[in-house]
Amino acid sequence: MPLARRFTITGRVQGVFFRESTRRVAESHGICGYAINLEDGSVEVLACGEPDALDQLAAWLQEGPRMAEVARVLAEDVNWEERSGFTTG
């Protein structure tokens, strides 16, 4: 059964291709949702997909792309949303 999880990633995560890299990883695991920059400098990711795929994305978010410096990843389960694709709004 698909799940939905919202992640908030803090650290040096804006201006380092974090959202685009997240999109590529998410799509490779069949995850739909979005990655957006927040005003406080963090990135929010909504991921909707199979539990194993969400776990793999969560592990990747701990490191992020090469130029990122991830300080913390907060995750919370949220209500499932039917979405098409993965956007980087």
Q: Which position among 23, 37, 72, 79 bears the catalytic label? A: 37
To the query of whether residue 19 is one of the catalytic residues in this protein, the response is: yes
Longest CA pairwise span in the chain (Å)? 34
Q: Contact, 48 vs 4, CB < 8 A?
A: yes
Closest CA to 46 of 32, 65, 30: 32
Look up 79 and say whether it is catalytic: no
Catalytic residue among 5, 6, 12, 19: 19
Report how far residue 76's alpha carbon sits from residue 62's, in angstroms, rounded to the nearest whole number.
15
Q: Which residues are catalytic?
A: 19, 37
